[in-house]
Structure 1
Amino acid sequence: MAHFKKTLSTLGVCAALVMAAQATAATEATLKVSGTIVPAACSTTLSNSGEVAYGSVASSVIRNAPEGNGLVQLGAKDITLTVTCDAASAMGFKMIDNRANTVVPLSASNYIVSPISGGNDAQSYHGFGLGLASNDAQIGAYSVVVDAANTKADSAAAGVVYSDDAGKNWRSGTAVYQVNDSARIVTVSNVGGSEPKLFREATFPLKISAGVQSSSVLGMDEITFDGNATLSLVYL
């Protein structure tokens, strides 16, 4: 009988140890959330390898500037900017003139005729430089206009919006000029919309319009245009 009681006492001790172990087990667990947000990779291409060619212009064409305008109009040329991303993205582009010191500043007396509206573009920040003539005279200026009516996003019609304050506010337009100091971001929107939209591929038809000073200013030597600007993508 004494041996039986001792056994019970031993079992009681074992039970107490088990209960103590349960009491010290962890009552909390840590949840971790990890991940990485990676911007989509986007690239730009320009048709015709980025060259807008006016070819050979006879000096007789620029002999006299039109009345009231110091720039002889050479008309508009077309080039297309395509932005392609590996995932749907909100992306815009801006431009800076690499020949800014050669531009004839646009004004009421030195303007470029708009290739879309036909109006006179006299805004100085729309003008990009064409280089210098052999006598160091500024050759002229050109403008860059986005043709919103033919802009597309993912093969569908799109609108065009632009911001001059780093994307804080947006405005839309049917003929959106780029500016020469990289201050303007241009991108696509829904048709009739006023905010940027996501896309994987967007095509922006650009119209380049040039005007040059007359031969009385540039001289009669051969003149070579040297317009050069950089287009940069901006994540929105």
Structure 2
Amino acid sequence: MAFTTMDDRQDSLKNLNIVGGGADGRDIPESTGQYGLGKTAEGVNIGAYSIAVNTALVTTEAGSKATIDQELNSEEWVNSVGGITIDGRPGFGRKFTVADTGTTVPVAFTEAVFPLLVTAAIDSTTNLGITDNTPLDGQATISLVYL
């Protein structure tokens, strides 16, 4: 089994550089690794957030495992360093699962913990024109897929 993510607020994405959003501390400047954070009352996109798997803390009932990922249009599994999810809009997406350390072959599990890191970037208040409290309205769907 693996999981994917899908941005439910993609129309509200304001592409910004999300500083330190990856599990390895890397920035996330590309919109494919970002999710919409909602709109102001005037309809202006507020910003973006990222979702990354904290690869160092992934476990199964058998203990610590390596985190691997696969682009949706690829057959190759690779070690996931940054753990950066990709919005599953048409033509994009990334699957995440686990492997034994030192391999990139998915292994079966009955229980797994994939800690997630969520990091946001908000556009400047000058661009947003916000004068009141404004709710952040990001929403993503995490889907389980059988391998």
Do the two structures share a fold, i.e. TM-score over 0.5?
A: yes
- 2:133 partner SS: coil
Shift of 1:103: 0.5
Q: Is the 8 A contact 2:66 2:79 kept in 1?
A: yes
- 2:51 partner SS: strand
RMSD of Structure 2 on Structure 1 (CA):
1.5
In the alignment, the residues of structure 1 paired with residue 76 and residue 27 of structure 2 have an alpha-carbon distance, to the nearest angstrom, of 26
Match of 2:120 among 210, 213, 230: 210
Q: Is the 8 A contact 1:112 1:143 kept in 2?
A: yes
- 2:69 partner SS: strand
Q: Is the 8 A contact 2:44 2:128 kept in 1?
A: yes
- 1:113 partner SS: coil
Match of 1:171 in 2: 78
**Structure 2 alignment gaps of length 5 or more:** none
Q: Is the 8 A contact 1:149 1:174 kept in 2?
A: no
**Structure 1 alignment gaps of length 5 or more:** 1-90
Match of 2:6 in 1: 96
Q: Is the 8 A contact 1:147 1:174 kept in 2?
A: no
CA shift digits 1:27-80 (9 cap, x unpaired):
xxxxxxxxxxxxxxxxxxxxxxxxxxxxxxxxxxxxxxxxxxxxxxxxxxxxxx
Higher normalized helix content (fraction of residues): 1
In the alignment, the residues of structure 1 paired with residue 107 and residue 37 of structure 2 have an alpha-carbon distance, to the nearest angstrom, of 34
Count of matched residue pairs? 142
Match of 1:222 among 133, 144, 147: 133
In the alignment, the residues of structure 1 paired with residue 120 and residue 30 of structure 2 have an alpha-carbon distance, to the nearest angstrom, of 14
Q: What code does the residue aligned with 1:231 have?
A: I
Normalised to the residue count of structure 1, the TM-score between the two structures is 0.57
Shift of 1:96: 0.6
Shift of 1:180: 1.0
Shift of 1:154: 1.1
Normalised to the residue count of structure 2, the TM-score between the two structures is 0.90
Q: Share of identical aligned residues, percent?
A: 31
